[in-house]
Amino acid sequence: MILTVTLNTALDLTYRVPALTPHTTHRVTQVIERPGGKGLNVARVLASLGYETVATGFAGGATGSVLRERLAEHSAVRDELVETAGPTRRTVAVADTASGDTTRLDEPGPTVTPAEWAAFRTRFTELLYGATAVALCGSLPPGIHVGAYAELVRLARAAAVPVLLDTSGEPLRRGIAARPDLVKPNAEELARLTGSRDPLRATREARGRGARTVVSSLGPEGLLAAGPDGLWRATPPAAVRGNPTGAGDSVVAALLSGLADGTPWPERLARAVALSAATVLSPVAGEFDPTAYEELLPRVKVIAEPESA
Amino acid sequence: MILTVTLNTALDLTYRVPALTPHTTHRVTQVIERPGGKGLNVARVLASLGYETVATGFAGGATGSVLRERLAEHSAVRDELVETAGPTRRTVAVADTASGDTTRLDEPGPTVTPAEWAAFRTRFTELLYGATAVALCGSLPPGIHVGAYAELVRLARAAAVPVLLDTSGEPLRRGIAARPDLVKPNAEELARLTGSRDPLRATREARGRGARTVVSSLGPEGLLAAGPDGLWRATPPAAVRGNPTGAGDSVVAALLSGLADGTPWPERLARAVALSAATVLSPVAGEFDPTAYEELLPRVKVIAEPESA
Summarize pLDDT for B245-270 with one digit per residue, the tens. 789 999 999 999 999 999 999 999 99
R_g (Cα) of chain A, nearest Å: 19
Task: Identify the segments of chain A with pLDDT beneath 70.
Answer: 308-309
The pLDDT assigned to A154 comes to 98
- How many angstroms separate the CA atoms of A126 and B253, rounded? 57
CB contact (8 A) between residue A26 and residue B106: yes
Q: Would you say A114 and A120 are in contact if contact means Cβ atoms under 8 Å apart?
A: no
Among residues B106, B249, B261, B289, the one annotated as catalytic is B249
- Nearest-neighbour CA in chain B from A299: distance (Å): 34
Residues 6+ apart with CB under 8 A from B56: B3, B4, B5, B6, B80, B81, B82, B120, B123, B124, B127
Domains of chain B: 2-7+36-87+108-305 (3.40.1190.20)
The long-range contacts involving B146-154, CB below 8 angstroms and separated by at least 24 positions, are B146/B170, B146/B171, B146/B174, B147/B171, B147/B174, B148/B7, B148/B117, B149/B174, B149/B175, B149/B178, B150/B174, B150/B175, B150/B177, B150/B178, B151/B121, B151/B178, B152/B5, B152/B121, B152/B124, B153/B178, B153/B179, B153/B180, B154/B178
Distance of CA B86 to the CA centre of its chain: 24
- How many angstroms separate the CA atoms of B161 and A39, rounded? 57
B221 to chain A, any CB pair closer than 8 A? The answer is: no
Q: Would you say A53 and A46 are in contact if contact means Cβ atoms under 8 Å apart?
A: yes
- Angle value at C-alpha A184, between A167 and A230, nearest 5 degrees: 150
A263 to chain B, any CB pair closer than 8 A? The answer is: no
A241 to chain B, any CB pair closer than 8 A? The answer is: no
Question: Could you give the percent of chain B with pLDDT greater than 90?
Answer: 86
φ, ψ (nearest 5 deg) of residue A85: -70, -40
The pLDDT assigned to A305 comes to 84
A181 is catalytic: no
Query: Does the interface ipTM go beyond 0.90?
Result: no
- How many angstroms separate the CA atoms of B90 and B105, rounded? 9
CB contact (8 A) between residue A22 and residue B27: no
Nearest one of B83, B105, B86 to B94, comparing CA atoms: B105
Q: Which residue of A has its CA nearest to B18?
A: A105
- How many angstroms separate the CA atoms of B237 and B259, rounded? 24
B96 to chain A, any CB pair closer than 8 A? The answer is: yes
B187 to chain A, any CB pair closer than 8 A? The answer is: no
* SS3 of residue A67 by DSSP: helix
Beta-strand relationship, B133-137 and B163-166 = parallel
Give the relative orientation of helices B148-158 and B169-177 as an angle to the nearest 10 degrees: 30
A62 to chain B, any CB pair closer than 8 A? The answer is: yes
CB contact (8 A) between residue A103 and residue B20: yes
Of B12, B27, B67, B92, which to mutate for an interface test with A (greatest number of A Cβ within 10 Å)?
B92
- How many angstroms separate the CA atoms of B223 and A278, rounded? 61
Q: Which residues pair with A261 in a beta bridge?
A: none
- Return the beta strands (E) in chain A as ranges: 2-6, 10-17, 25-27, 30-36, 53-60, 78-84, 89-96, 102-106, 133-137, 163-166, 182-183, 213-217, 223-227, 230-235, 301-305
CB contact (8 A) between residue A103 and residue B22: yes
Give the relative orientation of helices B187-194 and B169-177 as an angle to the nearest 10 degrees: 70
Residues 6+ apart with CB under 8 A from A43: A2, A4, A53, A54, A55, A75, A77
Task: Pick B240 or B263 by higher pLDDT.
Answer: B263
Q: Which residues pair with B104 in a beta bridge?
A: A25, B93
CB contact (8 A) between residue A101 and residue B27: no
A105 to chain B, any CB pair closer than 8 A? The answer is: yes
Nearest one of B11, B32, B38, B40 to B110, comparing CA atoms: B11
Average pLDDT over residues B267-295: 91
Q: Which residue of A has its CA nearest to B24?
A: A103
- Does residue B284 have a pLDDT over 90? no
The pLDDT assigned to B308 comes to 59
The partner residue sitting opposite A66, judged by closest CB among B20, B62, B99, is B62
The one-character DSSP state at A141 is P
CB contact (8 A) between residue A15 and residue B105: yes
R_g (Cα) of chain B, nearest Å: 19
* SS3 of residue A161 by DSSP: coil
Nearest one of A14, A31, A10 to A243, comparing CA atoms: A14
In one-letter notation, the amino acid at residue B142 is P
A–B interface: beta-carbon pairs under 8 A: 83
Q: Would you say B144 and B113 are in contact if contact means Cβ atoms under 8 Å apart?
A: no
A23 to chain B, any CB pair closer than 8 A? The answer is: yes
Maximum Cα interatomic distance, chain A, rounded to a whole number of Å: 58
Ramachandran quadrant class, B226 (left: phi over 0; alpha: psi -120 to 50; beta: rest): beta
- Does residue B133 have a pLDDT over 60? yes
A31 to chain B, any CB pair closer than 8 A? The answer is: yes
Summarize pLDDT for B166-223 with one digit per residue, the tens. 999 999 999 999 999 999 999 999 999 999 999 999 999 999 999 999 999 998 889 9
The one-character DSSP state at A92 is E
Enter the pTM of the model: 0.87
CB contact (8 A) between residue A108 and residue B27: yes
The partner residue sitting opposite A107, judged by closest CB among B31, B101, B103, is B31
The partner residue sitting opposite B26, judged by closest CB among A15, A21, A106, is A106
B244 to chain A, any CB pair closer than 8 A? The answer is: no
Across chain B, mean pLDDT equals 94
CB contact (8 A) between residue A29 and residue B108: yes
Average pLDDT over residues B153-175: 97
The pLDDT assigned to B220 comes to 85
Q: Which residues pair with A93 in a beta bridge?
A: A14, A104
Nearest one of A174, A71, A57, A167 to A119, comparing CA atoms: A57
- Does residue B153 have a pLDDT over 70? yes
Residues 6+ apart with CB under 8 A from B284: none
CB contact (8 A) between residue A104 and residue B25: yes
| Contacting residues of A for B105, CB less than 8 Å apart | 15, 17, 26, 28, 92, 94
Nearest one of B244, B88, A90 to B79, comparing CA atoms: B88
- Does residue B309 have a pLDDT over 60? no
- How many angstroms separate the CA atoms of B271 and B255, rounded? 8
- How many angstroms separate the CA atoms of A213 and A195, rounded? 19
Given pLDDT bands bounded at 50, 70 and 90, which one contains residue B105?
very high
Summarize pLDDT for B6-65 with one digit per residue, the tens. 999 999 999 999 999 999 999 999 999 999 999 999 999 999 999 999 999 999 999 999
The pLDDT assigned to B305 comes to 84
Among residues A101, A249, A261, A289, the one annotated as catalytic is A249
